[in-house]
Structure formats: structure tokens, C-alpha cells
């Protein structure tokens, strides 16, 4: 494994996490901020990654969706407690293509697709009964067959502009490696723990 390539190192660590983490090895914290710099943090699921970036999906009218529309700068954090490792990634988030969003949406379980239509994510919910009624209404609207992707639901791709790989070590003398762009490649440096 090349330590000069953060993508190769991510692939190796992610493969280990998929084998050892009991739940959601693809869970990542997503930090966004409002235009005036107020931070917001939540867990989302990584749904794909390659050298073009790290992809997740959401309701575009949710808090994260509106913050991303106003400020594309984000940070991701993968924390795999069982491996005592974490990876931080910073970079801009850009919209995935409609074709990518359509393909991923079609792969979701039927009830998840119904939920995308029924939920006004991040807005006040008067009661669980209200949500159940909205789910039932969408089920009546699409009783069989395909459920199209709502116009307010899509994905984002985070393109890394900085990485940090952190490995727990005895006596809090952790191993930290950062990667920053260096032309067409990456420069790595160690940080004090």
C-alpha cells in the first residue's frame, strides 16, 4: 500500500472497517456551516467513493441541504472505534448528476423512497401520526411500480482538498499523517500527536 496516495490508504482502512465495525462502517460525520460561519454536524452514510470524491444523499430542503447551497465547504470524519482510527477529509461539496441521483434513488428500499416524498426533513413535525398519514398518502399515490425521485432529493460529492489519517497509539503518542495537494499528487507530512 502506497503511503503517498491518500485514496489507497483510505481504501485499505475502509476495507478493514467493513470487516470489523459492527454497525455502519460507512457512517461519517458531516460538518457544514451557515454563510455566517455557524457550524452544524450530523452523521450521514457514505454511498460511494472514488478519486472524484465521497458521495452522500439527502433532502435538499433539509438543514444540511440549505447550508450546502449557501456554503459548499465541508468536513467529513470517519471514526472506527474498533480499529482506533479516524480519517478527516475537508473539501468542497458539489451536486451529483441527476443520473447518479436517479440511479441511487432507484436502488433504495421502497419504504425509503416513499419516506423521501413524505418527510419534510429538518422541519417541525406536529406528531408521528402526521408523518404516518403522509407516508400512507404517498403509498396511495404510488401503489405499485417505480417511485420517481423527488425534485428536492439528491446527492453531493465531497472532493478532498485535505486529509488527516489518525491512528491511536499507546500513551496518547498517536500517529497523524496529513495530505495536502502538491500539483497533480499529494504531499504527506506527520503531525505531533
Kindly list the catalytic residues.
172
Report the Cα 162 to chain-centroid distance in Å. Answer: 16
Strands (E), the chain: 27-33, 39-45, 48-50, 53-59, 73-80, 85-95, 153-158, 162-167, 175-182, 185-191
Report the chain's C-alpha Rg in angstroms.
Answer: 19
Residues in contact with 55: Cβ distance below 8 Å, sequence separation at least 6, in sequence order: 46, 47, 48, 49, 96, 100, 155, 156, 157, 158
Taking the C-alpha atoms of residue 56 and residue 66, their distance in angstroms, rounded to an integer, is: 15
Q: Which residue has cell 502538491? A: 182
Q: How many residues does the chain have?
A: 193
Amino acid at each position: 500500500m502506497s503511503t503517498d496516495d491518500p485514496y489507497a490508504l483510505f481504501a485499505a482502512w475502509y476495507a478493514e472497517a467493513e470487516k470489523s465495525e459492527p454497525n455502519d462502517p460507512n457512517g461519517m460525520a458531516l460538518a457544514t456551516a451557515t454563510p455566517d460561519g455557524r457550524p452544524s454536524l450530523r452523521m450521514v452514510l457514505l454511498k460511494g467513493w472514488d478519486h472524484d470524491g465521497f458521495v452522500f444523499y439527502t433532502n435538499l430542503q433539509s438543514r444540511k441541504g440549505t447550508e450546502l447551497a449557501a456554503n459548499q465547504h465541508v468536513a467529513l470524519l470517519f471514526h472506527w472505534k474498533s480499529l482506533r482510527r479516524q480519517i478527516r477529509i475537508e473539501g468542497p461539496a458539489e451536486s451529483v448528476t441527476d443520473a447518479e441521483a436517479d440511479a441511487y434513488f432507484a436502488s433504495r428500499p421502497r419504504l425509503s423512497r416513499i419516506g423521501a416524498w413524505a418527510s419534510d426533513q429538518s422541519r417541525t413535525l406536529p406528531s408521528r401520526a402526521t408523518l404516518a398519514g403522509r407516508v400512507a398518502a404517498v403509498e396511495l399515490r404510488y401503489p405499485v411500480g417505480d417511485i420517481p425521485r423527488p425534485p428536492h432529493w439528491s446527492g453531493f460529492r465531497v472532493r478532498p482538498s485535505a486529509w488527516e489519517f489518525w491512528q491511536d497509539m499507546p500513551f496518547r503518542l498517536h500517529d497523524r499523517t496529513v495530505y495536502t495537494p502538491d500539483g497533480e499528487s499529494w504531499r504527506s507530512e506527520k503531525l505531533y500527536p
